[in-house]
């Protein structure tokens, strides 16, 4: 159909062009909103991009830039202290147990020897608890490391979503 025949149909009989003109006239507010779509997409894009940056910041707080510092590194350093204490107390408990055994061989030293043996047992129990604490701290650190990696990935995905939304906005 050529432009002349389309314009010829404006004589009140309707036609494609008249329908199009009526559609545009009846929906000019909606069409005006479409013109603002790039601005809306830009605002929408800034949300995921900002969230992505926050997720990466949280990741760095948890595991540092190198994947092993941050809170995870602090926990790892902190778990070293109980582990060293476990070793020291374990050595002390072994010496006390040896002393109790030796003292038990001396006449009239049964009472003090049994108290020394009891002290060695108490110290051994404390070392077990400290060992569990050190292990738990290491496990918490590893869990935080996994959360940090997930947050970093989330940040990347959110940035990508924001970039894609901005790309849509630029098409307009």
pLDDT at 52: 84
Q: Cα 94 to the chain's mean position, in Å?
A: 43
CA atoms within 13 A on the CB side of 166: 11
Nearest C-alpha neighbor of 63 from the set 125, 153, 2: 153
DSSP 84-140: HHHHHHHHHHHHHHHHHHHHHTSTT-HHHHHHHHHHHHHHHHHHHHHHHHHHHHHHH
Does residue 15 sit in helix, strand or coil?
coil
User: Residue 6 gets which letter from DSSP?
Assistant: H
Q: Are 169 and 45 in contact (CB under 8 A)?
A: yes
**What Cα–Cα distance (Å) separates residue 70 from each residue in 13, 77, 103, 171?**
76, 11, 50, 41
pLDDT at 131: 87
Domain segments of the chain as ranges: 36-83+132-171
The secondary structure of the chain in percent helix, strand, coil, rounded to multiples of 5, reads 85, 0, 15
Sequence-distant (6+) residues with CB within 8 A of 142 are: 72
Q: What is the Cα–Cα distance from 7 to 18, expressed in whole angstroms?
A: 9
The whole-model pTM stands at: 0.59
Stretches in the chain below the pLDDT threshold 50:
1, 6
pLDDT at 38: 76
């Amino acid at each position: 159909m050529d432009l002349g025949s389309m314009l010829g149909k404006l004589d009140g009989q309707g036609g494609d062009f008249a329908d199009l003109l009526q559609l545009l006239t009846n929906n000019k507010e909606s069409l005006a909103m479409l013109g603002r779509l790039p601005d809306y997409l830009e605002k929408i894009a800034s949300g995921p991009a900002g969230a992505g940056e926050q997720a990466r910041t949280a990741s760095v707080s948890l595991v540092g830039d190198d994947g092993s510092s941050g809170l995870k590194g602090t926990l790892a350093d902190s778990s070293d202290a109980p582990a060293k204490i476990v070793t020291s107390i374990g050595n002390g408990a072994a010496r006390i147990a040896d002393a109790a055994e030796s003292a038990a061989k001396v006449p009239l030293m049964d009472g003090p020897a049994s108290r020394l043996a009891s002290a060695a047992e108490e110290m051994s129990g404390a070392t077990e608890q400290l060992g569990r604490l050190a292990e738990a701290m290491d496990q918490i650190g590893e869990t935080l490391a996994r959360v940090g990696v997930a947050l970093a990935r989330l940040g990347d995905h959110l940035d990508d979503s924001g970039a894609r939304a901005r790309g849509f906005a630029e098409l307009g």
